[in-house]
Amino acid sequence: MIRQKVILDLTYEASGTFTKNRIAVANASDPNKAENASGANDGEVLGVFMNSGTTGETARICALGVYPISAADSAVANGEMLISDADGKADTATLDTTDVQNCVGSAMDDASAEDELIPAFICPSKYAYESEVTKTHAIALTDLRCENAVKDALPDTPDGDGGTLGLADAAGSPVVGTTTNGGATANATEKCSFDYVVPADYVAGEDIVCRVKGLVSAARNAESLLDVVVKHVKAGALDATDLCTTAAIDMKDVTTEANEDFTIDSDSTGDELAAGSVLHVEVSFETDDTGATADGYAQINGIEMRVPCYR
């Protein structure tokens, strides 16, 4: 005899034909009526029908407890979460998607064939499960360092061409470059850097993205490149391989903040990323106003590392 123990049973008026041991859902137009489920995530799951009938009749539903349920096929296994198939039978829920799953409960035995009655723990619920998500780790601008002296904080003002970007003392200040125009300082390329430790929940084999929130204060007359170089720190040294696969981005006409994404290769031979990997990230920003006269400078409002992680 199949185990059963009904803790909570409910009665509903039926809005269609319903079958004992199949999954019951609320009618979409009238949630006070119940009907046979007709597909995965078809309506709000109420439980399992305890009798059979048709439109207008009273349906009894096991809403909580242990009750026999009709299996959709032999793939239904003990412990699996259950959703409805097209006929209201219990099928295995797929919980590695971003979709919400309207589950009726979980199987308490294996099924050997379609329509076999197996005991199930009935407890209608919604599940939304992602095997991985992208987590955003903001890099505080005050944690940025000089590119050629990585222990040193950024100077209050930028160094000029070939030097370091600047960061004022006031809280919330952006990182800025030297003002350029077509005069004495026609162009300048300046840098900053930071170290980043790949987090423990990182999904190995997935690329990481470095996002720079940047702009130029006024349109520049010539190509003005924003670039990111990423290298592995290992064995007490900086590896030679640049892991960033995104080419430098021309920012000469980007006068409002834009998210510029740079992809970091996860599986470069000999430089595969893993939890705990230390990355040295160098950001360079050029402004070039050769042939023009308007003042303008590079500006970075934020930097983020966007990392695929396990939930």
Using one digit for the tens of pLDDT, what is the confidence trace for 218-260?
999 999 999 999 999 988 899 999 999 999 999 999 999 999 9
Sign of CA dihedral 62, 68, 74, 78: positive
Closest by Cα among 44, 78, 43, 49 to 63: 49
State residue 98's pLDDT score.
53
State residue 40's pLDDT score.
76
pLDDT tens per residue, range 106-124:
999 999 999 999 999 999 9
Contact 69, 84 (CB under 8 A): no
Distance of alpha carbon 27 from alpha carbon 43, whole angstroms: 7
3-state secondary structure of 87: coil
State residue 285's pLDDT score.
98
Distance of alpha carbon 221 from alpha carbon 181, whole angstroms: 9
State residue 87's pLDDT score.
93
Contacts of 1 (CB under 8 A, 6+ apart): none
**Residue spans per domain, the chain:** 5-130, 134-310
pTM of the model: 0.64
State residue 96's pLDDT score.
59
The pair of three-digit structure tokens given for residue 33, joined into one six-digit string: 């009526």
Contact 219, 294 (CB under 8 A): yes
Q: How many CA atoms lie within 13 A of 190 on its CB side?
A: 27
CATH 2.60.40.1730: does it fit domain 134-310? Answer: no
Task: List phi, psi (to 5°) of 249.
Answer: -110, 130
State residue 101's pLDDT score.
83
In DSSP notation, 201-268 reads: TB-TTPPEEEEEEEEESS--SS--EEEEEEEEEETTEE-S---B-SPPEE-TT--S-EEEEEEE-S--
CATH 3.40.50.150: does it fit domain 5-130? Answer: no
Which residues of the chain are under the pLDDT cut of 70?
Answer: 1, 95-99, 128-131
3-state secondary structure of 142: helix
Distance of alpha carbon 141 from alpha carbon 98, whole angstroms: 33
User: Could you give the C-alpha distances from 82 to 39, 103, 211, in angstroms and in order?
Assistant: 12, 5, 40
Residue 102: in which H helix or E strand, if any? strand 100-107
Residue 33, sorted as left (phi over 0), alpha (psi -120 to 50) or beta, turns out to be: beta
DSSP β-ladder status, 298-310 and 175-176: antiparallel
